[in-house]
Copies of this chain bind each other. A is one copy, B any other.
Amino acid sequence: MAQKLKIGIIGATGYTGAELARILLDHPLAELKYLTSTSFAGQDINEIYPFLRPRFSHKLTEYKAGDTAGLDVVFIALPHGHSMRIVPELLANKSRVIDLGADFRFADLALYEKTYQPHTAPEWNKKAVYGLPELNRAKIKEASLVANPGCYVTAATLALKPIVDNLKFVSDSIIIDAKSGLSGAGRALRQDTHFLEVYSNFSAYKIGAHRHQPEIEQNLGGLRVTFTPHLLPVNRGIFATIYVKLSEKLKKENALAALNNAYKDEPFVKIVENPPVLKDVVGSNYCLISPVVNDDRLVLISALDNLIKGASGQAAQNMNIMFGLDERLGLERLALNP
C-alpha cells in the first residue's frame, strides 16, 4: 500500500474544516497530522464537534509558521484575506497547498480586489491553479497551490460551461436562481443564522451583489450573468435553477449532448434525464445536472452538496489529483437518503 499523505488543516473548526476531517477519516491514504484553530486551540476537535468522538481525537493547536514542515499537503479553510498571508510560508515549507477560500481564485487581481480586498501576495496569485477538476485537471496535477472554488460557483459553472461553449444563446440572458442550505453561511453567530430566523422560512439575499457572481462570470469567459442567492431552511445543499435564452429553437437532446459530451468520463458530474432533487446529492461528492428545453428557452437544474462537491469534497478530489491517486478515493459514497 502506498504511503499515507501527511495532512494539515488550517482552520479545522469551521464547517468546511471539520467536513474535510470527516471526509479524510474515510480516505485510505490520508493521515490527519495537524489541525489548527485560533478560537479553540488547546481543546480536542471532538469537543467542538462531538459527532467525531467515536473515532477521532486530535488536539487543536494555534497555527505557527514552521509547524507545517513535513506535511505533504495543507488545506486552508479560513475566511478570505487570511490565505494570502500564510500561503508563502506554507509553500516555503514544501507542502502543497489547497486553499478553500477566495484569495487565489481570480486570475484578474483587480477583479479580486474590487470584489474582496487588497491582495498582498500578487506574485503567488500567478502560480495558483483554479481547482475545478472538470475544467483544469492537468494543471491541478502539477500545481503547488490550488484555489478550490466554492459551492455556488461550482454548481453554476459546471452546468453552464458546456452550454455557453456549444450552444448559441442570447447575450446577457443568463439568470442563476440559486438556493443554498444554511451551512454555506458558516458557523459564526449572527442573527440571520439563529434557528428561528431560518426554520420554516425562505429568503433571498445580496440580490445582484453577491461575491460569487464575478467568479462565475470569470469562469464563463467574462459573460455577464444575473445571480440571486437564496437561503433554504435545510443544513446542506445547493440547488441552482439556471435560465438561458437560446438563439434558436432546440430540443432537449441538443442540451443533453453538450453536457454529456463534456462530462462523459467524469467521476463526479452526472447528467441525468429527470431533474435531481436536493437529497439526491446531500452527503455525496456528486454534482447532478439536468436540462429542460422549451423551444428557445433552456432551464438547467444543477445540484450538489455545498460542503462536499462545493467545498471539502472537491478539495479532497484535488488532493487525489495532485498526488496521482485514484480521483475517487474516499469520495464515492452516495447521498444519505432518505
Contact = CB atoms under 8 A, between A and B. Distances in A.
Interface of A: 15, 22, 25-26, 49-56, 172-173, 175, 177, 179, 182-183, 187, 189-191, 193-204, 207-208, 226, 228, 230, 232-237, 239, 241, 243, 245, 268, 270, 272, 274-284, 286, 288, 292, 294, 297, 299, 301, 332-338
Nearest to A286: B54
Contact of A203 (B25, B51, B199, B275): B275
Nearest to A308: B336
Given A202-B234, A234-B201, A299-B207, A52 B334 contact: yes
A234 B233 contact: yes
A277 B201 contact: yes
Nearest to A208: B294
Contacts of A237: 202
Given A272-B53, A276-B50, A297 B201 contact: no
Given A194-B189, A204-B275, A334-B55, A199 B241 contact: no
B234 A275 contact: no
Contacts of A55: 332, 334
Contact of A179 (B187, B202, B268): B202
Contacts of A236: 338
A54 B284 contact: yes
A196 B26 contact: no
Contact of A278 (B202, B239, B292): B202
